[in-house]
Amino acid sequence: MPRQSEPTERQCAVTREHRPVDEMIRFVLAPDGTVVADLKRELPGRGVWVTATREAVEMAEKKRIFSRGFKADVRVEPGLAGRVEERLRAQALGALGLARKAGAVITGFAKVEAALKKEELAALIHASDAAEDGIRKLAAIRVARFGPAGGPPVLRSFTSGQMDLALGRANVIHAAILAGRASRSFMACACALDRFRADSAATDA
């Protein structure tokens, strides 16, 4: 989060629109002149701000926005948007692990099913490689309780292997995130990843 003395909005170098800093990514120059993402907005030096979507970052690279923003002949290694996405995913997975340690993550199909029926949930997670049968069963329970347009958001941003590593367990396919203080950091990171990907990582289905 920005300090109180810092602006709460920044102008995107690509679109020229002003947006809240939480919807932006700050880029800085590494000592070797390479453009890197400063996701925590803590690194020293001049920053170039870009809307936090894959499309905007790819456009910044394609149109040489960084050279103009830094007023220098900078080096952008190919695949910048992909590297940013991987860092956002790693950040979200790290927050997921911390949420588990705080007791806010439920795993195992039967336990997730029970939680979906009665608990207050911040999100429901399906591994991106989860079988459709299990997803349909949990979706039916969600609709029965909350209606077609209600209930917690559904995330499909991680593979089962990534979830295994983050949660320190094997064969994690489905997880429920309990609403509350312990899950807020994860949800903020997951939403940032979803915004960046701008695809089906989180749905209402």
pLDDT digits (tens, 9 = 90+) for 74-132: 889 999 999 999 999 999 999 999 999 999 999 999 999 999 999 999 999 999 999 99
| Contact in structure between 88 and 189 (CB atoms under 8 Å) | yes
CA atoms within 13 A on the CB side of 6: 11
Q: pTM of this prediction? A: 0.87
What is the mean pLDDT of the segment spanning 17-35?
A: 94
| Contact in structure between 166 and 99 (CB atoms under 8 Å) | no
| Contact in structure between 158 and 127 (CB atoms under 8 Å) | yes
pLDDT at res. 5: 62
Cα separation, 28 vs 106, in Å, equals 38
Q: What pairing do the DSSP bridges indicate for beta strands 121-126 and 154-155?
A: parallel
> Would you tell me how many other CB atoms lie within 10 Å of the CB of residue 33?
12
Cα separation, 174 vs 154, in Å, equals 10
